Amino acid sequence: MKIAVVGATGLVGQKMLRVLEEQKLEVTELIPVASAKSAGKTVLFNKKNWLVITAEEAIAMKPQIALFSAGGSTSLALAPRFAAVGTIVIDNSSAWRKDPAVPLVVPEVNAHVIKETDRIIANPNCSTIQMVMALAPLHHAYGIKRLVISTYQSVSGSGVIGVSQLENEQNGQFNGQKAYPHQIHMNLIPHGGDFDESGYTSEEQKLVFETRKIMEAPDIAITATVVRVPVSGGHSMAVNIELANEYAIEDVRKLLQNSNGLSLMDEPLKNVYPMPLFAADKDDVFVGRIRRDESIPNGLNIWVVADNLRKGAATNAVQIAAWLIKNKFLD
């Protein structure tokens, strides 16, 4: 089993290597891939140093799976070339998510859409992944009519530059390289991605499109506001849900508690609810603050938190790889 990690020296790439170790996939040969300037370095995997090589060298080695975390432009250029030699590419960028021929997958929700002929599989946006993990059971049980989403996204969602900006500003240094147009320390920025003519951002539009695609529910009405917060890791979301059918709060709690990959933390009188500090370095998605929205029929509020570099990126990609191996989708 040869597995390539494209972008192996980056923030998510490093997390992919760690999750690969933890999930104990039988990797006989790791192929770490990075830009030419990083080629020749080494990365540690399963207590062994592996040489970082270029994409050209990796394509020639014909890995069975390539986990991509190297940005959209790199993926557009390289994913088809890996696919052409028989590799199944699992891509973490936004490059392929809107392509109707490319499955957009959260394994616990919609692995059934993967076909044996697929050679590129898209990993959804980090916020979308954690949210649909909580929404899918509710949609199957009650139907979802409308979602109003507010996100509180950590700086690690912007990569090393975002983390560095926060750390520099916390230390009184405000002149370094910046991921955001404003100071993030002691501040909130209602801006994720690029604004379009409608006034929404690309991060907000991803939540709309990707949720509908993954849940195979094109008619759900969705609106979203993305906010960047001065937290180093972990994304949080307040999700207001209008269900199509009546529900009981206790039934909702049981449903979420018994859903694979979800952990219920919902004892507010004991100050028990999901927080980024608690979710750090964990693979589960945490759900709490479950309560009825009394302002509309069948209204529901939930609070969803996850480590955006784990389930929101690396873990989901590795879980797709594990699903492919388990279901014998590899040549």
Catalytic amino acids? 126, 235
Instruction: Note whether 65 and 79 are within 8 A (CB).
Output: no
Distance separating the N- and C-terminal Cα atoms of the chain: 10
Q: How far apart are CA 258 and CA 96, in angstroms?
A: 32
CA distances from 93 to 14, 35, 73 (A): 16, 16, 9
Instruction: Note whether 8 and 34 are within 8 A (CB).
Output: yes
Instruction: Note whether 303 and 238 are within 8 A (CB).
Output: yes
For 116, the 3-state DSSP assignment is: coil
Instruction: Note whether 65 and 87 are within 8 A (CB).
Output: yes
Count how many residues are written for the chain: 331
The secondary structure element, H or E, covering residue 239 is strand 235-243
For 247, the 3-state DSSP assignment is: coil
Dump the DSSP string for 40-99: T-EEEETTEEEE-B-HHHHHHH--SEEEE-S-HHHHHHHHHHHHHTTPEEEE-SSSSTT-
